[in-house]
Structure 1
């Protein structure tokens, strides 16, 4: 079948694309507002975009039409955020951070997660995360109702048992990230991997 996303199906684009373009990594993103209050929210419209400089892309939607979510507002005001990656052990608490709490209420406290001071940005990282990326906002693109935040990765914190500092390779047997699948409630585990060597 062919689906025309420029016509009547335009309003269904989220359901169609979010179900097909999977699995997506999850960015449990921490920010602070101008008063220093912490916000934590998960986003699966997220990925690494390049390495020179190292950049990531994050697309937080609106809380309601024309009203940005706390994450987007905080990044616009402070230009800083931390992407905390999510593994199986963190999945349930990540999900608790997606609750629609009143603005200014700390989702980390709500989910029972531990804030740890970052090295070069004000938002904290999450102690329970297998890896955290301290980021500074590079640019924000607004395309229709979409908001693409491009952040430069300044520091990476990674749990010792999942990373080999000699090869810079992740130890797949110790790292079990989850991926976002179809809306509204589906995720996947990533324990089954296979190798395909590139042809010469």
Structure 2
């Protein structure tokens, strides 16, 4: 089967989300220009590099306002926090995905406690075992060029602070991903977490 996204009748763009999966979830907390807290999940999210430490999340155009609150807040404040979503936090995360009026505090909506950050102003999700404080590097706008497309804004953030729950740090100083059970997004409304683990060492060149 070959599908051309531009010419195949009834092409389902949701296929991309099912093929490029699982995807980590960026649970982004931000502050508005007037100090109102916002918390929203983004499944178009990932790490770009570690030196410098840079991550991205992509925000699609909002249907009921000029742009989503998270994007507007990051534009105004130039900072945000990426909070790790665990399997146990899946329901709270889902609550924060509700389309609610601008200015709604999703922390309160989902019954989540806030923690102060150190180098940025947006609060952190207290129940999350890891937080990445970020300052804005740049926003890349991807403009629609064909019917049915919408504008996407790709936000690049530099990590300026890392918070880890000591209970999930091994004696060797590693973050225990298996124990934290990060939530990942699949296609549609499907989510998953860490399954079977295997360690693969990088191959070494063969020598005669």
TM range (shorter): over 0.9
| Structure 1 outlier segments of 4+, above 6 Å | none
Mind listing any 5+ residue stretches in structure 1 that lack a counterpart? none
Distance in 1 separating the partners of 2:77 and 2:182: 29
Distance in 2 separating the partners of 1:172 and 1:72: 29
Q: What does 1:12-51 align with in structure 2 at a 5 Å threshold?
A: 12-13=12-13, 15-51=14-50
Q: How many residues align?
A: 197
Deviations 1:93-152 (A, max 9, x none): 011000111100100000000111000111001100111100001000001212100000
The residue aligned with 1:156 is 162
Q: CA deviation at 1:65?
A: 7.6
Q: Select the residue among 181, 191, 196 that pairs with 2:186.
A: 181
Q: What does 1:1-200 align with in structure 2 at a 5 Å threshold?
A: 1-8=1-8, 12-13=12-13, 15-64=14-63, 67-144=66-143, 145-164=151-170, 167-183=172-188, 185-200=189-204
Distance in 2 separating the partners of 1:172 and 1:142: 32
Distance in 2 separating the partners of 1:9 and 1:137: 40
Bigger mean CA offset, 188-197 vs 133-142: 188-197
Check conservation: 1:3, 1:9, Cα contact below 8 A.
Answer: no
Distance in 1 separating the partners of 2:9 and 2:45: 23
TM-score, normalised via structure 1 length? 0.92
TM-score, normalised via structure 2 length? 0.89
Distance in 2 separating the partners of 1:78 and 1:173: 34
